[in-house]
Amino acid sequence: MTIEEFRVTRNENLRKSNMERYGFGLNVMRNIRICTSCGRPASADRIHCSCGGVLSGETLFQQYKKRHRFCHRCDTIVANDVKFCPECGHRI
């Protein structure tokens, strides 16, 4: 691995870590479900919201995937004109 490749990898890992720390990114979305009554986010492992309402059966990420194009191999969201996944190289 070259020094430049190391820097890019380190910066990408730092960016993902910071996004998760501040509540953004796909990993955060995979762990959140939305209350069908009040609309508040809650942990995906819960069944009921603090308001007493039932949480959606899908995580926020599953709902997001329904509205966007994604790689079926690694779940990376991709632009409409992409032919190959930028993350894993799989043909879209």
Burial track 42-68 (b if 16+ CB lie within 10 A, e otherwise): bebeeeebeeebebbeebbbeeebeee
Q: What is the per-residue pLDDT across 33-74, written as a single tens digit (0 to 9) for each?
A: 989 899 888 999 999 999 999 898 899 889 888 888 989 998
Q: What is the per-residue pLDDT across 70-87, written as a single tens digit (0 to 9) for each?
A: 899 988 889 999 999 988
Q: Does position 11 have pLDDT exceeding 80, yes or no?
A: no
Query: Across residues 7-31, what is the average pLDDT?
Result: 75
pLDDT given for residue 22 in this prediction: 67
pLDDT given for residue 18 in this prediction: 67
